[in-house]
């Protein structure tokens, strides 16, 4: 009997519309739609897409609780054997939605398969709880992505354990206890000998790769320098006019603070990862504009840049953080800013 597959798509791949439909609430189709239909064909009768969920990217990321209520209702009606989300390629909001789908259904004990580009901001959240097949950065790679996802799905259906190196998905960072023929010392010696002989070998414990950032040159004369403020502490104008997310941020904000002496009364924090009481009482505790303004008046620094930049750091993916940094850095460089004070929480 064919396994039951529940498929999640965003508004574009669900054939509703483009960015102008990113606000749509989730809807359920009792049939495979778009990529879901192609995916079902690749399962060759081993699985059937019995429902397709379609939801706008903006709606999902701004109304997670409401979307999860729909998920809960669907599970009351029928429990799927597998959930498929995407592939999201390098679409950030779609990737975060797929990661949310993965976390929700993984918590319910249901396996999830999705697909993302290596720089998708949803990857870090999704890969510990689902099989995330590595894809290209655009939908042009759909024909390559779906077969990989279908192959993983077939192994899950068969009760087999997919392997990252064989099945093309990102390693989940989960270490499992297994029985092998040789003890660790022998395996380590085998790898050492292969390395000395310049033979191929595969390590059992891959080390993480970290970026090396070259330190900037020191500012020679602070009294002539323009200093800018950037924060991941979520300080925004009252009302959060740009709707920056309190966690897993998808955007950053830029606000004019010229002419002010401090931020009290006009700003607050929307950050979801720390107690906001003291930050709301005095936003300058997170964005030290008052102190910097005083230093400018005293001539210690040349001046404070007219704008400060803000986002939230909690849960925000490394991929998004890199994009934010590049975009903000480009603006500051073009504005002739000499230095930046980057504050966190």
Tokens in use for 200? 């191929």
Residue 97's nearest CA partner among 78, 70, 77 is 70
Give yes or no for residue 317 having a pLDDT over 90: no
Confidence of residue 316 (pLDDT cuts 50, 70, 90): confident
What is the predicted pLDDT for the residue at 224?
Answer: 95
Report whether pLDDT(245) > 80.
Answer: yes
**Which residues make up the CATH 3.40.50.2300 domain(s) of the chain?**
3-167
> DSSP string covering 203-214, please?
-SSPPP----PP
By percentage, how much of the chain surpasses pLDDT 70? Answer: 100
Q: Residue 170 is inside which H or E element, if any? A: none
Looking at CATH, the fold of the domain delimited by 3-167 is given as: Rossmann fold (3.40.50)
Structure tokens at 246: 């309190």
State pLDDT tens for residues 133-152.
999 988 899 999 999 999 99
SS (H, E, C) 23-88: CCCCEEECCCCCHHHHHHHHCCCCEEEEEEEEECHHHHHHCHHHHHHHHHHHHHHCCCCEEEEEEE
Rounded-to-integer distance, Cα 326 and Cα 309, Å: 13
Q: Which of 230, 236, 228, 322 is nearest to 272 (CA)?
A: 236
- pLDDT of 41-79, one tens digit each? 999 999 999 999 999 999 998 899 999 999 999 999 999
């Amino acid at each position: 009997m064919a396994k039951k597959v529940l498929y999640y798509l965003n508004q574009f791949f669900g054939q509703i519309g483009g960015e102008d439909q990113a606000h749509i609430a989730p809807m359920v189709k009792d049939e495979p739609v778009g990529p879901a239909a192609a995916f079902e064909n690749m399962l060759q009768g081993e699985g059937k897409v019995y429902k397709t969920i379609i939801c706008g990217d903006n709606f999902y990321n701004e109304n997670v609780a409401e979307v999860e209520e729909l998920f809960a209702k669907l599970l009351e009606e029928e429990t799927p054997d597998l959930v498929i989300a995407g592939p999201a390629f390098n679409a950030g909001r779609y990737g975060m939605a797929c990661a949310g789908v993965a976390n929700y259904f993984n918590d319910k004990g249901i396996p999830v398969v999705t697909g993302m580009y290596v720089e998708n901001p949803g990857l870090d959240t999704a890969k510990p709880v689902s099989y995330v097949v590595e894809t290209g950065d655009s939908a042009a790679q759909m024909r390559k992505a779906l077969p990989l996802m279908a192959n993983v799905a077939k192994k899950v259906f068969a009760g087999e354990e997919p392997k990252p190196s064989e099945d093309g998905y990102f390693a989940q960072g989960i270490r499992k206890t297994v029985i092998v023929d040789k003890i660790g010392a022998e395996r380590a010696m085998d790898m050492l000998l292969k390395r000395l002989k310049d033979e191929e070998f595969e390590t059992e414990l891959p080390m993480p790769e970290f970026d090396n950032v070259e330190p900037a040159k020191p500012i020679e004369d602070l009294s002539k320098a323009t200093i800018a403020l950037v924060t991941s502490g979520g300080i925004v104008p009252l009302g959060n006019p740009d709707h920056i997310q309190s966690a897993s941020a998808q955007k950053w904000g830029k606000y004019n603070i010229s002419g002010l002496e401090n931020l009290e009364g006009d700003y607050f924090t929307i950050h979801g990862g720390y107690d906001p009481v003291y930050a709301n009482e005095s936003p300058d505790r997170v964005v030290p504009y008052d102190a910097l303004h005083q230093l400018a008046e005293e001539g210690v620094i040349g001046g404070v840049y007219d704008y400060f930049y803000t986002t939230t750091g909690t849960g925000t993916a490394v991929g998004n953080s890199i994009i934010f940094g590049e975009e903000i850095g480009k603006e500051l460089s073009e504005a002739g800013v000499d230095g930046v004070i980057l504050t966190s929480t």
